[in-house]
Amino acid sequence: MLFVNDLSVAFKTRKGEVNAVRGISLRVDKGETLGIVGESGSGKSVTSYALMRILDAGGEIRTGEMTYSGIDLRAAAESEMRDVRGREISMIFQNPRAALNPIRKVGHQIEDVLVRHAQATRQDAREKAIAALEAVKIHDAAGRYDAYPFELSGGMCQRIVIAIALACEPQLLIADEPTTGLDITTQKAVLDLVGDLVKERGMSMILITHDLGLASQYCDRIVVMKDGLIVEEGSAERLFTAPEHSYTKKLVDATPRIGTSIRKLLPPENRAEEPELEVHDETLLDVCNLVKTYAGKSGPVHAVKGISFDIKRGQSLGLVGESGSGKSTTSEMIVRLQDPTSGNIVFEGEDIAATSSAGFMRHPNRRDIQMVFQDATDSLNPRDTAYSAIAEPLVRIGKMRGSDLTARVSELARLVGLPQSLLSRFPHQLSGGQKARVGIARAVALEPKLLILDEPTAALDVSIQAIVLNLLVDLRAQMGMSYLFVSHDLNVVRLLCDEVLVMKQGEIVDRGPTTKVMNSPSHPYTRALIEAAPQPPEIERLGL
Amino acid sequence: MMAEVTVNQQRANARQSDTTFGHFIYVLRDNPVTMLAFAMLAFFFGCAFFGPALVPYDPLATNAAHALEPPSWAHWFGTDNLGRDVFSRVIVATRLDLTISVAAVALSFVIGSILGSIAGYWGGWLDAVLNRFLDTIMAFPLFVLAMGVVAALGNTVENIIYATAIINIPFYARLVRAEVNIRRNAGFAQAAKLAGASDLRVLAQHIFPNALPPMMVQVSLNLGWAILNAAGLSFIGLGVRPPTPEWGIMVAEGANFIVSGEWWLAVFPGLWLMLAVFTFNLLGDGLRDIVDPRKRT
Amino acid sequence: MGSRTKMILGRVAQAIPVIIGVVVISFLLTRALPGDPAAYFAGPAADEESIAQIRESLGLNKPLIQQFFYYAGDLVQGDLGTSLTTGQTVMSDLAARLPASLELTLVALILSCATAIPLGVLAATRQGSWIDHLCRILVTAGVSMPTFFTGIVLIYLFYYLAGLAPSPLGRLDFIYLSPPHVTGFYLIDAAIAGDGETWFGALKQLILPATTLALFTLAPIARMTRAAMLTALSSNFIRTARAAGLSRGKVLYGYAFRNALLPVVTTLGMVFSFTLGANVLVEKVFAWPGIGSYAVEALVVSDYAAVQGFVLAMALLFVALNLIIDISYALIDPRIGLQ
């Protein structure tokens, strides 16, 4: 149905021309779902924009043919393209809230499309828009018709975007990272919905994602893209069991899933011995009845509702939950950036919650509790070099000076695998993985006893994530640190943590040794989370 | 800044200025208009520093025999009704006009930064009080408030500076407040706290410097606006008094002769004033390009 | 709609502390003077006795707080004191002259919005084209032009050289009689009276000062429109609209422009501030009998009651305008007041 041959796209930028897509060929058959998988910068999204001819300013299709059901998409006039878009080929995007016009009622936004493609008249537009809302399983569709995007949740917004895309019953749907930024259970609900609708209507779909596991679950066939080229193509099963291209192998290895181990995330040639990890039977941190209540606009918000747990010396504890579960608030209270409303945080026998967060910088335990932040870019001052970022805790708390300082900073750089030459660089001159290393070096600079990791790899590509996770395991073994690992990704927690806590709406609903919680969850919410996590085919065959 | 500057850091600093400077040159080459603005700025500062020593006539010397002469080789911009050389007066006035605007903008920059940083970082009741205060200042049409302030404090050059500073403070305070506020909980600010930095240090060393680029754009645009404001005040007879040469007064005096056709009295000082304001505005736009190429308007 | 009404009432309530602040500042400006306020208010020609009388009537021998309540009490009754130059109460002077200022300001604003918004939209949709560059030059030149200078140049060009414009003296040439007073806006009053000749005469007088003022306010509006339009056009929801095949007109005007209008409306507040200030200068240049030229005349002879009344009137006018802007913003943007 769709043929693309030798497509290349270039962008004009200030630094000259960038070839985003460099001659790719692919096809989509009727009723088929094709996955395009690649890491950031692979050109996967640009490909889809080129197909729709909605490239951003400066982007241009250089070579290639694109045909859809006999229509030459490259040669078609803009007015023809406008008839194709929405009517024949539709698209859904990441960040659904931003993808909707913020000041127009969602019902009207659906009507706009219906009226444009002559699928509805002014008289029956409302009725048909409500039918479109019902088609994407929105309850009380007539009531939602008058809602504005800001009144709806992210998952609900994505359903509206899907309703707009499918309103005129197109034959091909392009889904560009449709669930990035959504919670894992919402992700499953949205993708299941799209999958069902596509099957029901006999449509074809292109699913663009960075997550190989996700693609394998929903796609009949997958192409893997890297640097604007297609490196491999095949069924999901084939890609996982017998990847041919070295990049696909690396990607398959790096995708966390059941049955893998931390070292197996790395390419075979880089796999070292797994380090010995020692967990002492001595309580390092004891959290008791921790409560955090904010004053919200409509009454108090109970972010954390009296939770208790402890961390042993040398232990790695996972804290899992979706957005709004209170897991970030909990970690900020423990690292003493926020004050709890009530409760105790007992660290090595002393209640550190008694010292206010503003005064904690002079507390002797400041050096013992450190944190690696979620967004490495945001956590580095754009005006400071990597050197100053790593040196800051050493200077302020460690009171180091002169050559001692220089020596310690380069030792830390070596420890986290950051080349010495990069120390003089500014954050914008470093890659995502390098910035993550700087953030980790700074956090471990004073050899803390407890390190809080707040989704440290959430913003990273899987191949970089694999390296950073391995680094974290090595550091834990070398320094004997305890970890509190905050994450929404169960597959990562499974690899890194001895025990796990599951949080939901400010409460701990499930806890226990990781393998036990993962294999026989006692709470229905834990079960829902595990079921929602994408599982590549290999594992299913291995059998649970 | 840290007490000990290691070799690495020095190299790093050099590198930063290197890259910033490189980008700067790149933007200039990309945008000749900004280069022109820098050249014009240099020219105006030259006039302010050396003008009074270089002008051909005493700007205050009257000469009844040569009153109201149109522009000629002897008097490039003509002479006024008292026979004074308009060119000399226009050039000499540069120093006064620039002094007023630079002093006013410097005052509002400092006060606005302090108020805005405090409100943006600590928030709470301090923020509420500051906002009420700024709202009240902004509730006046700004030029009208400046008129009121000068009328109340007395008709002097210093008071023009104070009045101009007062009406500019809200812009800086709000800008700094917003810039500080979005970075208050930024990862790097929290990381600095974990590294043992006090609130004040986090604010002064990590957050405020990141707010400086947009501030510089504001400074440049404001300098032009402050000149306009000061000239406007003297145009209606506030602040600077005749016979002191000042662009606003000269336009006001020349306005009386425009209906009888002696255009040069008002037009040259007016053009000069316009050119000065234009320079600062171009510069502001150029700086905006350097700071954030996406916000070019 | 209930929450919407509540929100509008809330906005009105928020204006009250601002008005109190304005009154306090205007009080401080005149009472906390370095010299003797009584001497200022009595004027330069006053003798000891009249100064003492003024001091008594203003309550200047009382504590500052008490003075403030006298002042506020007078204000509530509409008593702004008496002008030394005209001998009338400041209130009646301002009331008589306000329509002239408002007419000038509103015509100028309509003129500049009607030019600037289309210009900004064009510049944004044809980014990098000649119209974009023209917009940029016009915008930068526009904010650099001192209004009093623009006015003088326009007079020289259109009155002295071309002879197209009438002499720049007031709202109507002396050959016309002012139209019967209904609103105080000559254009409206003449239209009501059906007097085409006077209407045209008033328009001719109005055109130069209104253009002067419009040229000055054009720049910020055009600049903001362009920037807001560019931001809106690069938003994700525009991509959704394009991917759904909506027509270019619908995408540009139905989706992008409506969103771009929000920041433009916010800028209007700042523009009003500039306009009301520039109004004073333009009125002086064109001998326009509004409250601005009234204040300038009062300043020259140190007529403090008149100046104070003027500052207060301008501030209250501006607060009212801002209130209208806020409310209209809330009416366009569904997100306000419903969250």
What digits encode the pLDDT tens for the residues C121-150? 988 888 777 888 888 778 878 888 888 888
- What's the rounded Cα separation, in Å, for the pair A148 and A483? 42
Pick from C101, C144, C215 the residue to mutate for testing the B interface (most B CBs within 10 Å): C144
Nearest C-alpha of chain B: how many angstroms from C96?
20
Average pLDDT over residues B6-16: 42
Are A104 and A146 within 8 A, CB to CB?
A: no
According to the model, what pLDDT value does residue C210 have? 93
pLDDT band for position A47 (50/70/90)? Answer: very high
For residue C275, give the H/E element and its range.
helix C258-285
Q: Quote the Cα angle for C152-C154-C160, to 5°.
A: 90
Asked whether the beta carbons of A350 and A434 are under 8 A apart, the reply is no
Average pLDDT over residues B116-132: 87
| In the predicted structure, residue A543 carries a pLDDT above the cut 50 | no
CA dihedral of residues A36, A39, A40, A45 (deg, nearest 10) = 0
CA dist., res. C315 & res. A476, Å (int): 65
Most confident of A8-17, A110-119, C51-60: A110-119
pLDDT at A437: 93
Range in A80-89, B279-288, C224-233, C279-288 with the lowest mean pLDDT: B279-288
Of B141, B267, B275, the CB nearest to C153: B267
Write the pLDDT tens digit of every residue in A295-345.
Answer: 877 778 889 999 999 999 999 999 999 888 889 899 999 999 999 999 999
Give mean pLDDT, residues C166-195: 82
Contact between A199 and A193 (Cβ < 8 Å): no
Q: How far is CA B150 from CA B106, B144, B156, C114, in A?
A: 19, 10, 8, 35
* Higher per-residue confidence, A465 vs C44: A465
Residue B206 with chain A: CB contacts under 8 Å: 381, 384
Between residues A241 and B162, the one the model is more confident about: B162
**Percent of chain A residues past pLDDT 70, beyond the cut:** 98
Does C239 touch chain A if contact means CB atoms closer than 8 Å? yes
* A vs C: CB pairs below 8 A: 85
Q: What is the pLDDT of residue A537?
A: 67
For B135, the closest of C18, C159, C224 (CB atoms) is C18
Query: Quick check: A71 and A79 in contact, CB under 8 A?
Result: no
Of C245, C250, C254, the CB nearest to A83: C245
Residues listed for chain B:
297
A→B contacts (Cβ < 8 Å), by residue, are 14, 335, 337, 358, 361-362, 366-367, 370-371, 373-375, 378-385, 387-389, 391-393, 395-397, 401-402, 405-406, 409, 423-426, 429, 439, 442-443
What pLDDT score was predicted for residue A35?
94
What is the DSSP annotation of A160-171? HHHHHHHTT--S
> In Å, how far is A57's CA from the nearest CA of chain B?
13
CB A286 within 8 A of CB A315: no
Among A25-34, A360-369, B10-19, C192-201, the minimum mean pLDDT is found in B10-19
What residues in B contact C35, CB-CB < 8 Å? 154
Mean pLDDT of C223-229: 88
Task: Return the DSSP state at A263.
Answer: G
Q: What residues contact A329, with CB distance under 8 A and at least 6 apart?
A: A292, A303, A304, A338
Top-confidence residue, A234 or B216: A234
Question: For position B8, what pLDDT does the model report?
Answer: 43
Contact C162, C207 (CB under 8 A): no
Contacts of B47 (CB under 8 A, 6+ apart): B91, B94, B95
Of the pLDDT bands very low, low, confident and very high (cuts 50, 70, 90), residue B22 is: low
pLDDT for position C36: 66
- Mean pLDDT of all residues in A349-366: 89
Is the CB of residue C229 less than 8 Å from the CB of residue C258? no
Give how far C211 is from chain B: nearest CA, Å. 18
Lowest-confidence pick of A22-36, B161-175, C260-274: C260-274
- H/E element, B148: helix B142-153
Q: What is the pLDDT of residue C32?
A: 59
Average pLDDT over every residue of A449-462: 89
Return mean pLDDT, chain B: 81
Residue A195's pLDDT is what?
92
Torsion of Cα atoms, A308 then A309 then A313 then A314, to 10°:
-140
Residue of B nearest to C227 (CA): B297
pTM of the model: 0.83
| Nearest by CB: A385 against B9, B191, B192 | B9
Which range has the worst mean pLDDT, A7-11, A206-210, B5-9, B264-268? B5-9
Q: Mean per-residue pLDDT for C37-58?
A: 73
Residue B4 confidence class, pLDDT cut points 50, 70, 90: very low
**Residue among B30, B137, B166, B228 with most chain C CBs within 10 A, to mutate:** B228
Query: Any idea which of A80-89, A179-188, C36-45, C102-111 has the lowest mean pLDDT?
Result: C36-45
Check residue B186 and give its pLDDT: 87
Residue A419 pLDDT grade (very low, low, confident, very high; cuts 50, 70, 90): very high
User: Average pLDDT for residues A489-500, to the nearest whole number?
Assistant: 90
Å between A197 CA and nearest CA of chain C: 18
> How many other CB atoms are found less than 10 A from the CB of residue C5?
10
Query: Looking at the predicted structure, is the pLDDT value of residue B6 above 60?
Result: no
Residue located via tokens 């974990």: B194
Partner residue facing C30 (CB), from B140, B152, B154? B152
Query: Which residue blocks in A480-536 are alpha helix, DSSP H?
Result: 490-496, 514-519, 524-532
**Is C127 in CB contact (< 8 Å) with chain A?**
yes
Q: Of A310, A297, A305, A296, nearest to A341 (Cα)?
A: A305
Q: What is the mean pLDDT of residues C77-95?
A: 84
**Structural tokens at position A515:** 């393998």
- End-to-end, the C-alpha distance of chain B in Å comes to 35
Picking from A399-408, B187-196, C71-80, C238-247, which range would have the lowest pLDDT averaged per residue? C71-80
Mean pLDDT over each residue of chain C, to the nearest integer: 84
ipTM passes above 0.95: no
Question: Shortest CB distance from A423 goes to which of B8, B26, B196?
Answer: B8
Q: Which residues of B touch A385 (CB under 8 A)?
A: 8-9, 12, 16
Q: Do C33 and B274 touch (CB under 8 A)?
A: no
Neighbours of chain A (3+ CB pairs under 8 A): B, C
B-interface mutation test, from A384, A435, A449, most B Cβ less than 10 A away: A384
Provide, as residue numbers in chain B, all residues whose Cβ is less than 8 Å from the Cβ of A424.
Answer: 8-9, 11-12, 15
Strand, coil or helix: what is B113? helix
**Phi, psi torsion values for A453, nearest 5 degrees:** -115, 110
- Cβ-proximal residues to C91 (8 Å cutoff; 6+ apart), any chain: C78, C79, C80, C309
- Check: CB of residue A500 under 8 Å from CB of residue A520: no
Instruction: Please tell me which of the candidates B7, B16, B193 has its beta carbon nearest to residue A337.
Output: B193
Mean pLDDT value of segment B114-143: 88
Question: Are B4 and A362 inside 8 Å of each other by CB?
Answer: no
Q: Provide the edge-to-edge strand list for the sheet that holds A299-312.
A: A299-312, A283-296, A342-347, A350-351
Q: Is A424 exposed, middle or buried (0-12, 13-18, 19+ CB in 10 A)?
A: buried
Distance from C-alpha of C103 to C-alpha of C80, rounded to nearest angstrom: 23
The answer to whether residue C234 scores a pLDDT higher than 70 is yes
**Residue of C241, C244, C259 lying closest to A102 (CB–CB):** C259
Identify the H or E element spanning A380: none
pLDDT band at A376 (very low <50, low <70, confident <90, very high): confident
Q: Is the pLDDT of residue B292 over 70?
A: no
**Shortest Cα–Cα distance, C197 to chain B (Å):** 26
Under the banding of pLDDT at 50, 70 and 90, the label for residue B297 is: very low
Helix pair angle (B208-235, B264-291), 10° resolution:
170
Per-residue pLDDT, B56? 78
Mean pLDDT, range C265-282, rounded to an integer: 87
Q: CA dihedral in degrees (B141, B143, B146, B152; nearest 10)?
A: -80
Among B198, B209, B293, beta carbon nearest to A361: B198
Q: Mean pLDDT across the stretch C154-181?
A: 82
Chain C CA closest to residue B151: C299
Q: Is residue B5 over pLDDT 50?
A: no
CB of A333 closer than 8 Å to CB of A339 = yes
Averaged pLDDT for residues A160-186:
90
pLDDT at A323: 84
Q: For residue C146, list chain B residues with Cβ-Cβ distance below 8 A.
A: 228, 231-232, 235, 248, 251, 270, 273-274, 277
Give how far Cα B27 sits from Cα of A383, B91, B283, C227, C228, Å.
20, 31, 12, 20, 23
How far does the CA of residue B218 sit from the closest CA of chain C (Å)? 14
Residues ≥6 apart with Cβ < 8 Å to C228: C120, C259, C260, C261, C262, C263, C264
Provide the pLDDT for residue B148.
86
Give the integer Cα–Cα distance in Å for A5 and A66.
6
Binned at pLDDT 50, 70 and 90, residue B161 comes out as: very high
Distance, CA of B166 to chain centre: 14
Give the model's pLDDT for residue A533.
86
Reported as a pLDDT band with limits 50, 70 and 90, residue B66 is confident
Burial of C141 (0-12, 13-18, 19+ CB in 10 A): middle
In this structure, are residues A125 and A111 in contact, taking their beta carbons and an 8 Å threshold?
yes
End-to-end alpha carbon distance in chain A: 38
How far apart, in whole angstroms, are the C-alpha atoms of residue A431 and residue A427? 8
pLDDT at B248 (0 to 100): 87
For residue B17, pLDDT over 60 is answered with no
Residues in chain A: 544
Of B268, C308, C275, B229, nearest to B238 by C-alpha is B229
| Mean pLDDT for the stretch of residues B152-165 | 88
Other beta carbons less than 10 A from residue A102's beta carbon:
17
**C206 vs A240: CA distance, rounded Å:** 79
Q: Is the pLDDT confidence value at A435 over 50? A: yes
Q: B57, B90, B61, B91: which is closest to B74 by C-alpha?
A: B57
Q: What span, in angstroms and rounded, lies between the C-alpha atoms of A149 and A142?
A: 15
Show which subunits contact C, needing at least 3 CB pairs below 8 angstroms.
Answer: A, B
Cβ distance B124 to B117 under 8 Å? no
| Token pair listed for C125 | 């949709």
CB pairs under 8 A between A and B: 104
Q: Mutation target for A interface from B194, B202, B212: give the one with most A CBs within 10 A.
A: B194
Helices of type H across A234-286: 236-241, 246-254
Residue C186 scores a pLDDT above 90: no
Higher-confidence residue: C4 or B127?
A: B127
Secondary structure class of A181 (helix, strand, coil)? coil
Is it the case that residue B284 has pLDDT exceeding 80?
Answer: yes
Average pLDDT, chain A: 89
> Which of B140, B149, B275 comes nearest C315 by C-beta?
B140
Q: Collect all residues from B whose CB is shorter than 8 A from any CB in A.
A: 2-4, 6-9, 11-12, 15-16, 19, 26, 30, 186-188, 190-199, 206, 209-210, 293
From the list C18, C149, C273, the residue facing B136 with the nearest CB is C18
Q: Which of A54, A100, A102 sits opposite C242 (nearest CB)?
A: A54
- Do the Cβ atoms of A49 and A153 come closer than 8 Å? no
- Report the alpha-carbon distance of residue C71 to residue C62 in Å, rounded: 12
Mark which residues 240-299 of C lie under 8 Å from A by CB: 240-248, 250, 254-255, 258-259, 262
**What's the rounded Cα separation, in Å, for the pair A142 and C219?**
45
Which site among B253, B258, B278, B294 would you substitute to test the C interface, given the most C Cβ atoms closer than 10 Å to its Cβ?
B258
For C50, the token pair is 């009249």
* Whole-number pLDDT of residue C35: 60
Dist CA A212 CA A224 (whole Å): 9
Half-sphere exposure of A81 (CA within 13 A, CB side): 19
Give the distance from residue C246's alpha carbon to the nearest chain A alpha carbon, in angstroms.
Answer: 6
* Mean pLDDT of the region C274-294: 89
The DSSP call for residue A221 is E
C295-305, pLDDT tens digit by residue? 888 887 777 78
Contact B210 A383 (CB under 8 A): yes
Count each helix (H run) and each strand (E run) in chain C, helices first. Answer: 14, 0
The mean-pLDDT minimum among B248-262, C37-51, C176-190 falls in: C37-51
Q: How far is A198 from chain B (nearest CA, A)?
A: 39
Report angle CA A310, A315, A318 to the nearest 5 degrees. 70
- Cα nearest neighbour of A94 on chain C: C236
pLDDT at position B249: 87
Three-class SS of residue A19?
strand
